[in-house]
């Protein structure tokens, strides 16, 4: 069999549905093998868009998303997406081409050492030097990408190897199960929770992928232990649950941080040091129990005393079985902090000012999205507002990146989310900065006939950095920019463009766009003047009075 055919058979055997990317001449054998396969090529307008889509496909399915680029410039365009998948624990395989490795007649034209470049941003990167190795290399790339902790992998298929013949046959995935935690570790954790006076549960990034959601819910319902979420743990357990204490959207000073300070035992499920620390550990103050697929990476602000390493769903199930509510548990302070948080979350939700207030924006989007609707954020100021105020009902319904925290992934991640869940409503929310970093993918979305809504928050600035600049008492400098007319821009792509002039109009337009098929861009002017008052001062002042 031709090597490129063998490669594609191996991808099919892994269940690959889509190949996102942009081929170059070094990929043409592979492309021809794809043409006659069951795998659908999703041609994008930039490799970064393809990489973000593949990573998000992996994030939502647990199966590695696959993307393709050519050598040199195509492969270098994958760098940010590789880091995005790697830090965000999203399974993804990147395939890149290369000039012939056996006989090269082109000197160093377009040649970059891509395998070396991928080394620090992947779990596994290999050049394929013989067609006979293809089945093993492909299987290993998928195994590494998908195994806990998931991440990015890379294979380079040079054009002369792609053209070779081979008798090798595809290696199928083995029957395998994730290892479960040791009995003694579970007992030690249960004892610590039972002995604590004020235990609290944290749901972090690592809890947000497998079957942990159901077990966590049962654990919380049975024990009555209150919980909070990290940005990437949002939705694992319904944030409308009466025991929810809030989201660690801010680094400190929020009501949730007061609750955390008050706890004497933190059950930390799925914490991953790639997320901004949701709390800082201090020596001797409280017991931290780390429950995750992998052991804790020790950090100056994170050094748990007890670790339960193994399948998270299984560990929570066993803990739930050995824990009953204790008379000496005292949740009164937590109840008070929740009451104050919930009251505070309502402030701003009735603000009708225009340009729109961030709290009102979140309230309108939340109101119009069904429980299973998916909101995909880019990176900017609004991420903090969404993380704190948007209460998720179901896992992976607010896709945000609190790991690489890159700009430019909002739109591609929404496109991939729609492809994975065609029956759900999908909305991307980006700043005018982040949107323009990959706005060319609107053409891809229109071509694929995806039904998505892209909200572009227009402040004519890199607002988040402007806020941080002001926080540091620097004068405003180097953050303001202009924008295209986003309505005309949408129309130029064959999408629909909307520009509301009031909150009521925004609401109407968003509702309309959710009801009608096709790609919509809503150009929404936003007022960030309350960032400082609310996020830096008000929350801090109110929570300090608790």
Ligand X SMILES: Cc1ncc(C[n+]2csc(CCOP(=O)(O)OP(=O)(O)O)c2C)c(N)n1
463 touching Mg ion, by CB under 5 A: yes
Least distance to ligand X from the beta carbon of 229, Å?
A: 22
The interface partner of residue 524, options being Mg ion, ligand X, none and the CB cut-off 5 to 8 Å by kind, is none
Please choose, out of 19-27, 54-62, 167-175, 453-461, the segment that lies near Mg ion by the rule CB under 5 A: 453-461
The interface partner of residue 465, options being ligand X, Mg ion, none and the CB cut-off 5 to 8 Å by kind, is ligand X
The interface partner of residue 406, options being Mg ion, ligand X, none and the CB cut-off 5 to 8 Å by kind, is ligand X
- 204/463 with CB nearer Mg ion: 463
Q: Which residue's C-beta sits nearest to Mg ion? A: 431
Q: Which of 52, 317, 331, 382 binds ligand X (CB under 6 A)?
A: 382
Q: Which of 49, 204, 304, 431 binds ligand X (CB under 6 A)?
A: 431
Please choose, out of 163-171, 211-219, 341-349, 379-387, the segment that lies near ligand X by the rule CB under 6 A: 379-387
The interface partner of residue 16, options being ligand X, Mg ion, none and the CB cut-off 5 to 8 Å by kind, is none
Least distance to ligand X from the beta carbon of 460, Å?
A: 8
The C-alpha atoms of residue 254 and residue 535 are separated, in whole angstroms, by 9
Taking Cα atoms as reference points, which of 521, 506, 515 lies closest to residue 425?
515
Taking Cα atoms as reference points, which of 135, 123, 132, 130 lies closest to residue 94?
123
- 428/452 with CB nearer ligand X: 428
459 touching ligand X, by CB under 6 A: yes
Query: 494's torsion region: left (phi>0), alpha (psi -120 to 50) or beta?
Result: left
432 touching Mg ion, by CB under 5 A: yes
The interface partner of residue 306, options being Mg ion, ligand X, none and the CB cut-off 5 to 8 Å by kind, is none
The token pair that represents 215 in the structure block: 């077990």
459 touching Mg ion, by CB under 5 A: yes
- 406/513 with CB nearer ligand X: 406
Three-state SS for 224?
coil
- 233/463 with CB nearer ligand X: 463
The C-alpha atoms of residue 144 and residue 147 are separated, in whole angstroms, by 5
Taking Cα atoms as reference points, which of 154, 148, 250, 157 lies closest to residue 208?
148
89 touching ligand X, by CB under 6 A: no
Least distance to Mg ion from the beta carbon of 493, Å?
A: 21
Q: Which residue's C-beta sits nearest to ligand X? A: 431
Angle at 376 between CA 375 and CA 380, to 5 degrees: 120
* Residue whose token pair is 């025991």: 243
Burial group, residue 109, by CB count within 10 angstroms (0-12, 13-18, 19+): exposed
The interface partner of residue 407, options being Mg ion, ligand X, none and the CB cut-off 5 to 8 Å by kind, is ligand X
The C-alpha atoms of residue 305 and residue 285 are separated, in whole angstroms, by 11
Cα–Cα distances in angstroms (integers) from residue 195 to residues 334, 339, 351, in the given order: 18, 26, 46
52 touching ligand X, by CB under 6 A: no
The one-character DSSP state at 499 is: -
- 316/409 with CB nearer ligand X: 409
DSSP 392-423: -SSTTSEE--SSS--TT-HHHHHHHHHHH-TT
**Site residues, ligand X (CB under 6 A):** 379-382, 405-408, 431-434, 457, 459, 461-465
């Amino acid at each position: 069999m031709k090597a490129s055919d063998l490669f594609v058979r191996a991808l099919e055997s892994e269940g690959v549905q889509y190949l996102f990317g942009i081929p170059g001449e070094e990929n043409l054998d592979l492309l021809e093998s794809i043409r006659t396969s069951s795998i659908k090529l999703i041609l994008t307008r930039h490799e970064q868009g393809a990489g973000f889509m593949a990573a998000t496909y992996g994030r939502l399915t647990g199966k590695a998303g696959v993307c393709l680029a050519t050598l040199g410039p195509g492969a270098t365009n994958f760098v940010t997406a590789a880091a995005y998948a790697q830090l965000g624990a999203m399974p993804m395989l990147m395939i890149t081409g290369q000039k012939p490795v056996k006989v090269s007649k082109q000197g160093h034209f377009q040649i970059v050492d891509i395998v070396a470049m991928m080394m620090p941003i992947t779990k596994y990167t290999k050049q394929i030097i013989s067609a006979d190795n293809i089945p093993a290399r492909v299987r290993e790339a998928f195994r590494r990408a998908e195994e806990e902790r998931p991440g990015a992998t890379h294979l380079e298929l040079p054009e002369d190897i792609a053209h070779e013949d081979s008798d090798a046959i595809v290696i199928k995935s083995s029957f395998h199960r994730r290892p479960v935690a040791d009995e003694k570790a579970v007992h030690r954790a249960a004892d610590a929770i039972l002995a604590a006076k004020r235990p609290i549960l944290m749901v972090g990034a690592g809890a947000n992928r497998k079957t942990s959601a159901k077990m966590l819910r049962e654990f919380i319902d049975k024990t009555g232990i209150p919980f909070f979420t990290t940005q990437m743990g949002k939705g694992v357990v319904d944030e409308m649950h009466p025991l929810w204490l809030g989201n660690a959207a801010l680094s400190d000073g929020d009501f949730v941080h007061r609750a955390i300070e008050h706890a004497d035992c933190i059950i930390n499920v799925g914490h991953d040091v790639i997320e901004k620390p949701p709390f800082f550990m201090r020596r001797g103050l409280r017991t931290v129990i780390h429950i995750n697929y992998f052991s804790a990476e020790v950090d100056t602000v994170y050094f748990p005393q007890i670790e339960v390493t193994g399948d998270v769903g299984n560990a929570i199930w066993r803990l739930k079985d050995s824990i009953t509510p204790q008379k000496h548990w005292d949740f009164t302070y937590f109840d008070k902090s929740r009451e104050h948080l919930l009251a505070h979350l309502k402030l701003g939700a009735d603000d009708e000012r225009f340009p729109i207030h961030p709290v009102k924006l979140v309230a309108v989007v939340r109101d119009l999205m069904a429980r299973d609707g998916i909101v995909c954020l880019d990176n900017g100021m609004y991420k903090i507002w969404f993380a704190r105020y948007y209460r998720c009902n179901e896992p992976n319904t607010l896709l945000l990146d609190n790991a690489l925290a890159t700009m430019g992934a909002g739109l591609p991640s929404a496109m991939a989310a729609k492809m994975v869940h065609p029956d759900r409503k999908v909305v991307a929310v980006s700043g005018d900065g982040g949107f323009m970093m990959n706005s060319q993918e609107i053409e891809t979305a229109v071509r694929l006939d995806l039904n998505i809504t892209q909200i572009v928050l227009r402040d004519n600035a890199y607002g988040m950095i402007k806020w941080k600049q002001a926080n540091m008492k620097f004068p405003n400098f180097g953050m303001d920019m202009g924008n295209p007319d986003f309505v005309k821009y949408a129309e130029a792509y064959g999408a629909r463009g909307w520009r509301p002039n009031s909150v009521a109009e925004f609401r109407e337009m968003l509702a309309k766009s959710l009801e009608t098929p096709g790609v919509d861009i809503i150009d929404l002017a936003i007022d960030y003047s309350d960032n400082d008052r609310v996020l830096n001062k008000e929350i801090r002042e109110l929570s300090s009075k608790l």
